[in-house]
Amino acid sequence: MGRREVLERLLPQLQLCPADYQVGALDPRSLFEVEIRAIWLEVGFGAGEHLAAMAQAFPDIGFIGCEPFINGVARLLTVIDQSALDNVRIVMDDAGLLLDSLTAGSIDRAFLLFPDPWPKRRHNKRRFIGPKNVAAMARVLADGAHWRVATDHMDYCRWILAHLAAARQFQWLARRPGDWRLRPDDWPATRYEEKGIEAGRPPVFLSFRRQDRQHPDIQP
């Protein structure tokens, strides 16, 4: 069965359009027919290796993946079809629109793995990590939720740490160099990580915790 057939058959069933919902009104748990215990979000899932592996490993968790490129979506749908996964929904749109539509505190874990670094200085403003998206992610993440971010671009790594350090809603969880140099065992690899290693670009794995809202020094 070809990817085109799988794409045409499954995408209409699994695609989520954030524009169909009012700002802050979408409860992601309502998207799933199976009983789930948490919602995890991946922004820019690429070819879908990480998202598919996680969805297979955690069938009681609902996954939402954002990816604008059709080839990556088709690859993920092929795995969903072969593995009969019923805990994945897909957004082929700006992830910022999805964040705006979600109810506050509705995401229990988020992933941003090897995003486009937009290396030219004049393009830095296009990076996903920035004041607007950091604030949006802080709003939708539940207290104690983890946000995992990976990159093999050192300038972007510094950029990420600077922006997240400036946001008091987040705490960087690293305590020793191995915490960011080594991918945790429960963090599936992606082809982008492997390509970066082959090209001599060692990856960095960053984990941040969404601080509790009731803390006196934390903004909502």
Please report which confidence band the pLDDT of residue 216 belongs to, taking 50, 70 and 90 as the band edges.
low
Q: What is the pLDDT of residue 114?
A: 94
Question: For the chain, how big is the Rg over CA atoms in Å?
Answer: 17
- Give every CB contact of residue 141 below 8 A, 6+ residues apart in sequence: 105, 107, 108, 110, 147, 210
116 annotated active-site? yes
Q: Which CATH architecture has domain 3-210?
A: 3-Layer(aba) Sandwich (3.40)
Instruction: Answer yes or no: is pLDDT of 1 > 60.
Output: no
More confident of the two residues 120 and 220:
120
Q: Supply the pTM of this predicted model.
A: 0.94
pLDDT digits (tens, 9 = 90+) for 105-143: 999 999 999 999 988 989 889 999 999 999 999 999 999
Instruction: Answer yes or no: is pLDDT of 219 > 60.
Output: no
> 86, 116, 155, 212: which is the annotated catalytic residue?
116
DSSP 8-state code for residue 139: H
| Domain residue ranges in the chain | 3-210
C-alpha–C-alpha distance, residues 113 and 188, integer Å: 11
Element (H, E) at 172: strand 170-172
